[in-house]
Amino acid sequence: MAKDYFAILGVSKEATPEEIKRAYRKRARDLHPDVNPDPHAQEQFKEVSTAYEVLTDPEKRRIIDLGGDPYAPGGGMGGGAGGFSGFGGFGDIMDAFFGGGGGNTRQRRSRIRPGADALLGVELSLAEIAFGTTKEFVVDTAILCDSCEGAGTAPGTSPAECGTCSGTGEIQAVQRTMLGQMMVSRECHVCHGTGVVIPSPCQKCGGDGRVRSRRTVSAKVPAGVEDGMRIRLASQGEVGPGGGPPGDLYLEINQVAHDIFTREGDDLHCRVTLPMTSAALGTTLDLVNLDESVESLEIKAGTQPGDKITLRGKGVPRLRSTQRGSLIVHLEVKTPVRLDDEQEDLLRQLAKLRGEEGEASTKANPSGGLFSRMRDAFNGR
């Protein structure tokens, strides 16, 4: 069943080209994705753009007037009357056998075409991509021309049939081949296959129906995304030629390195340096996590360099989940570089109490034990 393109634009079948243009501009302005974020409005915008294309195209308008639909299978006219079943006429039969040569060899290109997708790299902190955020980004894309509303024509004017190809969008010529002379078709170089030209283009967009502009878009970054991932923003890309529906905008995540934390999947890692005495005696430390919560670390007596403390459920949220990974704290023990006389005496007493002062006399260092070498290391010798 043929679509009622007049009803889609809200005009009568006797509407003039100027009335059709005004109706299209009004509908397109209300439904354009830059103005109306409703996903259903995007589909309506496509329908309105298609209806405008059909009603301003002489050939498609002729099919509509005959009760058909130019976008229905077979042009919406059926195959029994006026031709062979399955073919529109002799030209279509020539196309089927020779791949072109008789009648219309290609469908006219539409001036209204979908826009391209756009890609924007954005820098986010580790906390922003780990726990999610909503931010505004500045993008530079083609947007709908607000002067002509995508029509590409100057006020009071409309597109006209291309005089070079007579509105067919192609030019036919005779070409000599080894089989003899054959008729070949090429895209019209004047209208670029659209069949129409714009005698008086819009001064702002030059007839393209769109202009480049910087604008601000708001995007929600979900918790748990990772470096290099892309976030899709539907219908926020480039507006198409002729005011066609926009493509999508993709935000590519670039993580900024953190001073303290690193990330491996859903786990967070950090390093904490302990004094030698705290590692030996044990202690309690407070650590500010990436999400600004305070975690209490119980340092066991006798902690060795390279030991780890794992806090489960304190890492990065998993994407599209309420669960979190672990926070893994790597412990390092700091050995003092300088000792004064009192400190050295205390260490000697400790070594003597533990029976360690003279236990490491070796062939490599026969003149000194373990404590002597520790003392030399502390004093930088």
119-170 tens-digit pLDDT: 999 999 999 999 999 999 999 999 999 999 999 999 999 999 999 998 889 9
Q: Read off the tokens for 249.
A: 């905008």
209 burial level (CB within 10 Å; 0-12, 13-18, 19+): buried
pLDDT band at residue 91 under the 50/70/90 scheme: very low
pLDDT, residue 140, reads 95
CA distances from 376 to 138, 273, 305, 344, 345 (A): 60, 23, 21, 11, 14
> DSSP string of 3-38?
--HHHHHT--TT--HHHHHHHHHHHHHHH-TTT---
DSSP E strand stretches across 162-301 = 170-177, 180-187, 196-197, 210-221, 230-233, 249-256, 262-264, 267-275, 283-288, 294-299
Quick one: pLDDT at residue 15? 85
Surface-to-core class of residue 85, CB atoms within 10 Å of its CB (0-12 exposed, 13-18 middle, 19+ buried) = exposed
Q: What is the pLDDT of residue 1?
A: 59
For residue 189, count CB atoms less than 10 angstroms from its CB and return exposed for 0-12, middle for 13-18, buried for 19 or more. Answer: exposed
pLDDT of 111: 84
The model's pTM is 0.62
Cα–Cα distance, 148 to 29 (Å, whole number): 11
Question: What percentage of the chain has pLDDT greater than the value 70?
Answer: 81
Q: Dihedral (C-alpha) 74, 76, 82, 86: value to the nearest 10 degrees?
A: 30
Q: Is 70 in a helix, a strand, or coil?
A: coil
Could you give all domains of the chain from N- to C-terminal order, each with its CATH number? Answer: 262-334 (2.60.260.20), 341-378 (no CATH)
CA-CA distance, 184 to 162, in Å (whole number)?
19
Residue 79 has pLDDT above 50, yes or no: no
Among residues 146, 151, 140, 143, the alpha carbon closest in space to that of 240 is found at: 143
Q: What is the mean pLDDT of residues 54-78?
A: 70
123 CB-near residues (< 8 Å, 6+ apart): 254, 255, 256
Percent of the chain past pLDDT 90, that is, above it, reads 48
Does residue 321 register a pLDDT over 50?
yes
270 marked among binding-site residues: no
pLDDT, greater one: 93 or 191:
191
Average pLDDT value over all residues in the chain? 82
- Interatomic CA distance for residues 157 and 285, integer angstroms: 76
CB 54 within 8 A of CB 108: no
| Contact between residue 32 and residue 49 where contact means Cβ atoms under 8 Å apart | no
- 191 assigned to a ligand binding site: yes
97 pLDDT more than 50 = no
pLDDT: which is higher, 18 or 88: 18
Secondary element (H or E) of residue 334: strand 324-334
82: helix, strand or coil: coil
Cβ atoms of 304 and 343 closer than 8 Å: no
> pLDDT class for 89, splitting at 50, 70, 90?
very low
Decide which of 52 and 203 is more confident: 203
